[in-house]
Amino acid sequence: MDAPSDNKPTANHLSPKLTVRLCKDKAGQGVFAVEPVEAGEVVAVWGGRIVPEDIAAALPPNLRRYVVQVEDDQYLAPLDRVDPAELVNHCCLPNCGLRGQITLVALRRIEPGEEITFDYATTDSSPFLEFDCACVKKPCRNRVSMNDWQRDEVQAVNRGHFSPYLQRRIDKAEQAEEKARPSPRSQRG
Ligand SMILES: [Zn+2]
């Protein structure tokens, strides 16, 4: 979908160091660096409207693919058109990650020409947001599924950069694991 060319204010922020371009190895567009981006720098902040699952899942495919899950049953959906900041593609080995629910920051320094990506499993955990991945990065998961936030390798790459509602689930699972582990003090020889 073309980026808006009129002068209407957009619902999103995209760093002026980035631009939208056609992807060589994928169908469609992506966001690319035109200047170096430092680790921790904000690359995008998403806006839109907040809708529950039934409304998000019923959106036409050209809008639904840009939905970002922000809570267990709340979704950030694009307005009636897609803004450049929404065109950031998924990658299984991303160079950006979330800070909070709607802000994307660089995980490392990004050089000009690099595509801006994040792991959609750090925001999305709903069946209607699953998709087949062809990001060509090793190891590509081939399918990005609703339970990928539980995977060790996803947590390792994106530690500290999950949407808060998913971070709460991760913390809860870790606490349960901790409780289940026998305490060293109770293991007396
Ligand atoms: Zn992949």
**Within a domain: residue 186?**
no
Indicate the pTM of the whole model.
Answer: 0.90
Residue 180 alpha carbon to ligand 1 centre in Å: 33
Residue 172 alpha carbon to ligand 1 centre in Å: 27
Looking up residue 105, the CATH number of its domain turns out to be: 2.170.270.10
**Within a domain: residue 6?**
no
**Within a domain: residue 187?**
no
**Within a domain: residue 44?**
yes
Residue 27 alpha carbon to ligand 1 centre in Å: 15
**Secondary structure (3-state) at 88:** coil
| Number of domains comprising the chain | 1
**Within a domain: residue 106?**
yes
Residue 25 alpha carbon to ligand 1 centre in Å: 13
Distance CA 88, CA 108 (A): 16
Residue 89 alpha carbon to ligand 1 centre in Å: 10
Q: What is the DSSP string of 108-151?
A: S-B-TTPBPEE-GGGT---GGG-EE----PSSP-SEE-TTGGG-
From first to last of the 189 residues of the chain, give the pLDDT tens digit.
444 556 666 789 999 999 999 987 767 899 999 999 999 999 999 999 999 999 999 999 989 999 999 999 999 999 888 899 999 999 999 999 999 999 999 999 999 999 999 999 999 999 999 999 988 777 899 999 999 999 999 999 999 999 999 999 999 999 999 999 887 665 555
Residue 32 · residue 105 · CB < 8 Å: no
What integer pLDDT is reported at residue 1 of this predicted model?
Answer: 44
Nearest to 154 by CA among 97, 100, 77, 99: 97
Tell me, what amino acid is at 132?
A: D
Residue 30 alpha carbon to ligand 1 centre in Å: 15
Residue 15 alpha carbon to ligand 1 centre in Å: 24
Give the domain extent around 111: 13-174
